[in-house]
Amino acid sequence: MKEFFKFFDKFTFLILLMLALIGIVLIYSAAHTSEQSNFTKQLLWLLVAVTAFFVVFKVKTEAIFNLSFVFYVILVVVLVLQIGAGRIISGTKSWIKMGFFYIQVSEFIKIPLALYLAKTLTKFSIIDVRGFIRLMIILGLPFVLIAMQPDMGTAFMLTSFMIFAVILKKIRPVIIIFTLVIITAGALGTWHYVLKPYQQDRIISFLNPEKYKKSTGYQIIQSKIAVGSGGLAGKGYLNGTQSQYKFLPTRHTDFIVSVLGEEFGFLGISFLFLLFFILFYRQFNLKTESDEEFYYVYLFNGLILFQFLVNILMSIGFFPVMGVPLPFVSYGGSSLLAFFIGEAIIFKIKLNTFLNEF
């Protein structure tokens, strides 16, 4: 126990807590005029997430990796069942009700997926065609199921695993060429046969928001106005006109950073970036004992980085509106809980390395 407190990465954990608390402060600002309960709900979720974080420490790392495939299969099955009989919330079949809370399964599958992919990556030294197909099946199954919900945003986040797999492993050039062809064909196919008109509009409007001012470009424009009008120091807490007067859409979830930008200005944004930079820097540069741990750390942190980038860029119109929450900050219990559990595994890996080195 004494060793635990000595070698546990308290500093990084504090950063995680700060991000979540900043989120709660911003959620209050974003939603206090309409849905008061969002703020207290998120506070409760944070308690749940921190508890779960320390529960993970009780489990052996080996067991976590060994069980990853089982969890992966279970969650895939749940996703399949949901397609048929999910509670419909805001047009997507991605939520299941558990007591008072709604659980978003697609958020949780990221953990076993990262673990299982990491394990699989250790099996070969270079990604050849067979290996590539294997990875694609592991990744493609949940991707397709989540996309069918339809939740393109969350599905799109999973592609970060592929990007990082390529960074981590040597890959045959022919596969890259082949993949690019498949992606192009897939993108065109998705555009015509999968995407609903409103989803197409979102992507088009991202390219030219002024033209879609009244419809889908509206969100982007209002978010940019919120961020831009914040200036250096912001308009002050609870004083942002864009968020307080409800011009900013989905401000407690997808556009939470716009609330920060408006009320706390460039300084507030810079502080948030600093926290995230420290988090990424420390979590990418830790010592690991095995390859699968190393891969997992990169895959899971890579996912956070990817989702962070998409969300941030979306708020100033550099990325299409995706419906992707900002990790640790945005409102949403499932997302918060999943990221805390995923991080707990990284913390445990870090702790174990220290303990074993002694």
Partner 1 sequence: MYIEKRKLSQQEIKRISTVINIFLILIFIVLLFLFWNVQILKNQYYTDLATSNIRKEIEIKAPRGLILDRKRRRLSENKINFNLFVTREYSRNMNRTIKTAAALTRMEPDGIRKAIDKYKGYPKSYSIPVRKDLPLGKVIYIESRSDEFPEFEINIEPARAYPYKEMASHILGYISELTPGELVRKKGYKLGDLIGKSGIEKVYESSLRGTGGVRTVVKDNLGKVREILDEENPTIGGSVILTIDLELQKYIEELFAGHKGTAGVVDLRTGGILAMVSKPNFNPEFFSGPLETEEWLALINDPDKPLHNKFLQGLYLPGSVFKVVMALAALEEKAADTSTISTCFGRVKIYDRYFHCWKRTGHGNMNIYNALKESCNVFFYRLGKKLDIDVIAKYAQMLGLGRETKLDLPNEKKGLFPTKEWKLRELNQKWFPGETISVAIGGGMMYVTPAQVLEMISTVALRGRKPRFHLMEQIEKDGKVVETYKPAFENVPIAGENFEIVIEGLYRVVNDGGTGRAAKIDGLDICGKTGTQLILSLENPNYKQLVKQKRFTPHSWFASFAPRNKPEIAMVIFIENGGDAGAIAAPIARKIYKRIFE
Q: Where do contacts with partner 1 occur on this chain (CB under 8 A)?
A: 122, 125, 167-168, 222, 224-232, 241-242, 244-247, 261, 265-266, 269-270, 273, 277, 280-281, 284-285, 289-292, 294, 298, 305, 309, 312-313, 316, 318, 356
Check if the beta carbon of residue 248 is closer than 8 Å to that of residue 323.
no
Give the nearer residue to partner 1 in terms of CB position, either 54 or 277: 277
**88, 49, 71: which is closest to 334 by C-alpha?**
49
Nearest-approach distance from CB 55 to partner 1, in angstroms: 24
Give the nearer residue to partner 1 in terms of CB position, either 54 or 273: 273
Handedness of CA 10, 115, 309, 337 (dihedral sign): negative
- Quote the CA–CA distance of 262 and 235 in Å, as a whole number: 6
The partner residues of 170 in beta bridges, in order of sequence, read 126
**282, 260, 255: which is closest to 271 by C-alpha?**
260
Write down the residue that tokens 């990007």 correspond to.
163
Give the nearer residue to partner 1 in terms of CB position, either 108 or 298: 298
Nearest-approach distance from CB 116 to partner 1, in angstroms: 16
Give the nearer residue to partner 1 in terms of CB position, either 202 or 224: 224
Nearest-approach distance from CB 290 to partner 1, in angstroms: 3
Give the nearer residue to partner 1 in terms of CB position, either 225 or 341: 225
Give the nearer residue to partner 1 in terms of CB position, either 186 or 236: 236
- Quote the CA–CA distance of 127 and 122 in Å, as a whole number: 10
Nearest-approach distance from CB 127 to partner 1, in angstroms: 14
Give the nearer residue to partner 1 in terms of CB position, either 63 or 137: 63
- Quote the CA–CA distance of 331 and 17 in Å, as a whole number: 14
Nearest-approach distance from CB 132 to partner 1, in angstroms: 19
Give the nearer residue to partner 1 in terms of CB position, either 216 or 244: 244
Nearest-approach distance from CB 229 to partner 1, in angstroms: 4
Check if the beta carbon of residue 344 is closer than 8 Å to that of residue 53.
yes
Check if the beta carbon of residue 139 is closer than 8 Å to that of residue 161.
yes
Check if the beta carbon of residue 103 is closer than 8 Å to that of residue 60.
no
State the CB neighbour count (10 A cutoff) for residue 19.
Answer: 19
Give the nearer residue to partner 1 in terms of CB position, either 40 or 66: 66
- Quote the CA–CA distance of 256 and 23 in Å, as a whole number: 8
Handedness of CA 181, 183, 186, 190 (dihedral sign): negative
Give the β-pairing of 170-171 and 126-127. Answer: parallel
What's the Cα-to-Cα distance from 157 to each of 56, 110, 142, 306, rounded to whole Å?
A: 24, 9, 11, 7
Nearest-approach distance from CB 86 to partner 1, in angstroms: 31
